[in-house]
Chain A
Amino acid sequence: MFTFIPRDKISKNWVILGPLVSIFFTIFFGLLIFTFLGYDPLETLYQVFMSPFSRIDRISDIFVKACPLIIIGCGLMLCFRANIWNIGAEGQFIIGALLAGSFALMFPDVENKILLLFMFLVGFIGGAIWAFIPAILKTRLNVNEILVSLMLVYVAMLFIDFIVRGPLRDPMSFGFPLSKPYPEGALINKIPFPGIGYLGQLHYGILLIVLLIPLSWIFINKTLGGFKITVLGSAPKAAKFAGFKENSITMTVLLLSGGLAGIAGVVEVSANMGQLQPEVSFGYGFTAIIVAFLGRLNPIGILFAGITIATVKLGADNAQMTMGIPKVVTGLFEGILLFFLLTGETLQKYQIKWKRFK
């Protein structure tokens, strides 16, 4: 049987070399796969890795794509640090967007952006409500939060589908399942740059990231609450010894991560869609799980992880458009990238030994 034995000391060199070696292996296997499938390997690599950086508006699109991932990732970071497995951010995202959208549609003529502030609040509450269900079940009945939060994703998906096709459908939409357009006050505008105009889809929503990253860093490192979360995740018995209440920490991290996912939902719809539709998320809630782990559950890491993942996603879109490479193939490539990055990280901390029996 293979066993993982923790290394006594983590080599400083490999902390830097590790990711580079991982990327080397990714490129190597990527080239191999693309060649076997009959695509020009170098062209594909260019499309996936480099094309998102080829024009300034494309670079700004990376941030647009990364924005919801990073917002959700910061919330999930809190959960995962406490060893609470919220897998349902996708559902919390949807309910946040839906609730805030329904709220905005009650004020069809408001132009004041104050409406947006209220929408953030409502979106936060919406996501938090959706996370409250697994939280209360876990703290009261010890029900596994992974299953509950995951299954609620599908409930949320069907729920928004029903709302948009039924109660909130725009009578003017010619039968399409779309809500009425949001009022002006509910929209997040693009950022105008003097002399250049707009940079792609770059919108004011990314200011949230600028706010959120330092805030969550401070919360984790400089507050009692952040400390409690770390202790509970590392050693639950030590948390008891310190007198921290496990249930209230569990509740807090789930509500916060649900709320942040809800806010991400508000940003995504208000900035890029302007109305509710059956599909508001494109797997952001699930991708953000990867972002959180790739960023080593650290706000600054999550910033870079979010940008990396967004780049590859956009690159995959480009490869699909210009070269006709099916999305599944580029999805495979994303998988390889993650596999090697996580393997590299694991091998930094552990060595593998073969043991005959225990």
Chain B
Amino acid sequence: MKYSRLPGLLAAVFFALTLSACAGKPPPCQGPQTRSLDGAVSVVQRSLNNGCAAHFERLYDDLLTIAEGDPKPENKRIFSEFLVWSADQGLLSQRQARDYYNRYFNVKFMALQGDYNNCSHTCPRRDRVMRNMERELSDKERGLLKISLDNAGYYRADELYQEVELVLEATCTACTAGP
């Protein structure tokens, strides 16, 4: 009877010790808390090196949000260097790094990547291509306009979107009409 409570007691002590050990650490793969982009990049780099690679997309989005709070042209460079670092660390392939950068910070649309001609490949899925471009334009608004203050770049992207829409409509009509 005297010793019958011992296992429960030991379990309670073990649980309390575990909790106290965890109390000093942040939850795993938590996003950066700082408002400085440079500081946030360092935090994210440490997280990624400490087993959080699977959370890359969320952490990248956290960095974008922080950059929106302090928009300036050199933010482009900071993101570029961060993505080059990520590729060098093997966290991303070169292609993924390019996609992450260009989707937000370049005028060109990654949604228009493709190795086949427009009549055979783009026209049959024109609606989907345009929807993807529209979503990407919204990311460019964030990257070019809200983060980098690159107004000219964003307005060129917007204009390009409209031009592609017009030219694809004409080209696809011509493709359909012809042999």
Partners in one complex: no
B residues with a Cβ closer than 8 A to A are none
